[in-house]
Chain A
Amino acid sequence: MTAPGALLRREAVPLLVFLLLAAAPLLGFSHSHELTLMARAMILGIAAVSLSLLVGGAGLVSLGHAASMGFGCYAVVILDAANIVEAAIVVPVAIAAAALFSLVTGAVAIRTSGVHFIMITLAFGQMAYFTAASLAPYGGDDGYTLYARNTVFGRDWLQDRMAFHYVCLGLLVLAWLLCRVLLASRFGRVLRAARENPQRVLAVGFNPYPFRLVAYVIAGAVGGLAGVLLANATEFVAPAYISWQRSGELLFMVILGGVGSLHGAILGALAYVLLEEQLAALTEHWRMIFGPLLILCVLFLRGGLAGLLAPREAARHG
């Protein structure tokens, strides 16, 4: 165990980010627009952290992570259509559905590695996308409008934007903590070792496959949770939410923030949402600026934002 002081120093950046997000509404950032933006950033942050567990932790570059968010979104929609809006039911169902999808697709995908893995996760993600688009009772391509947010034990707490802000923040902290603890555990050690050198891990007597699969399922489950929040935040769900572009954006958040650290994904999500907001205000064709910017970030910002904030940390991770 490390001393509390050292722990505090090492995790200073994520703690500071969480503190700032907690304080933001109290410091005057409490207009509905700002709260919407921050909620979006935190929700994407949850998904990005879980993806970072896969990419940075296990070395599994998934290009279909948005699909697990999609399972969360569509769990909300399908239960809403059946008049079930209680979060105590919706959240477990969503997480279970996303985890099951990850288990089934992961069982096939993790048999492969490298570029095969990227393409297969992409293909499975598209499979989820086309399935969502063909769900005519739930709006098909046009999407589905939720009439209200989920209730929590019968109360409509989530309707209140401020409360929703703190719910998102709380879950973001939980997701980060879960992934952080996982990576630091014996389980995480095997994952990281298998990322560096699967042969040696095999030689030591560990089969990486079940470890990777469990990580994949956990990441999917957390993604499902993010999906529930996303559906509640926008009160609307469309297949576009889970298109492969969204998976690519999530991957970009992870890289932008820095693969070496989990909180990098949160920084990446915040930066991404802000960037998108700024550029979209500038021009309708903001993607023409965003695309080249993305390329430049990948080309030059190797340690990511987290690397800029903590140079020593970045050096340690290589």
Chain B
Amino acid sequence: MSLQLLLVQFLNGLQFGVLLFLVAAGLTLVFGVMDFINLAHGVQYMLGAYLGATFAAATGSFWLGLLLALPAALALGLVLEFLVFRHFYERDHLSQVLATFGVILFLNQAVKAIWGTAPLQVPIPALLSGGIEVMPGLQYPVFRLAIIAAGLATALLLWVLVERTRVGMLVRAGATNAPMVAALGVDIRRLFMVVFGFGAMLAGFAGVMAGPIFSVEPGMGDTVLILAFVVIVIGGIGSIRGAFVAALLVGLIDTVGKSLMPDLMRLFLDPSAARQAGAALASMLIYIAMAAILAIRPAGLFPVRAA
């Protein structure tokens, strides 16, 4: 394992981590403020990717596609909130899980019906194509660096919004004690719609950005959803800071683990067995990490609510 390869894996992990953060941020806020568990958050990421791909193909520009996909993702999120989710705020988590599961089944199939099952290809925009020399003799794709930058910028924006604005203050207060906020005269429903729409848009944004590097296909949101759950469980439900730290952690563990594990296993096993055992172990790594963290801190790294 050379230093160069390690650096590449580190950057890949970072880039995956910020994408996870974009998805997890909405999820953790929605859960934190409304105590609503939204399994359908992953399909919002998928819809973002599809909308981005479609608009980009129609307009011939990735940027126009991104610009059109964001409000579309926001609108779809609000439509879902209006049609389905708001009827389940008062219900138990079990009902919420199942209702949002129903939304997933519907949307995954709808995407198959509209766009087909074959993965869509999204070309990398010309402005960000090619590589950049991050180390002597090491080229790294500009687009992936752009994702990292966009993710970090969004995280910063989110931090300012949540920590420094009035709406952010209400969101934090809502995450700590929603009934109290409502009792103080804040329209918690409207606050939630704002949070929800914003979360849907962030997930959609992650989807658009992921389009050119991952394949855009039905069910792509499910994998991300489960990783996002791992992220918010590790980070502490409702905590943006926790989601950020945990997302980078999960992204790095997953990516670096997948490349290192087979090599590590080769120290003990013969090459073919090492490859298999390494792959199996690498895919389990983040769950093992999650179990380990929860064994020490059951409420996650940055618990919001005093539980």
Contact = CB atoms under 8 A, between A and B. Distances in A.
Interface of A: 55, 61, 63, 105, 108, 111-112, 114-116, 118-120, 122-124, 126-127, 130-131, 133-137, 244-245, 248, 251-252, 255, 259, 285-288, 290-295, 298-299
Q: Which 4 A-B pairs have the closest CB atoms?
A: A291-B106, A294-B102, A291-B105, A130-B283
A256 to B, nearest CB: 9
B106 A122 contact: no
Interface in B82-111: 84, 87-88, 91, 93-95, 97-99, 101-110
19 contacts: A61-B97, A105-B291, A115-B35, A115-B37, A119-B229, A119-B233, A122-B226, A123-B230, A130-B283, A131-B283, A134-B276, A251-B94, A285-B112, A287-B105, A287-B106, A291-B104, A291-B109, A294-B105, A299-B87
Interface residues of B, number: 45
Contacts of B110: 285, 288
B102 A131 contact: no
A112 B99 contact: no
Given A108-B291, A127-B287, A299-B88, 18 more contacts: A111-B298, A116-B299, A131-B284, A134-B283, A248-B97, A251-B98, A252-B98, A252-B101, A285-B113, A288-B106, A290-B105, A291-B107, A293-B102, A295-B98, A298-B91, A298-B98, A298-B99, A299-B95
A63 B112 contact: no
Contacts of B295: 108, 111
B25 to A, nearest CB: 16
Contacts of A116: 233, 237, 294, 298-299
Contacts of B287: 123-124, 126-127
A218 to B, nearest CB: 20
A118 B298 CA distance: 14
A244 B39 CA distance: 11
B93 A115 contact: yes
Nearest to B287: A127
A134 B109 CA distance: 26
B198 interface: no
A91 to B, nearest CB: 25
Contacts of B280: 130-131, 134-135
A108 B232 CA distance: 17
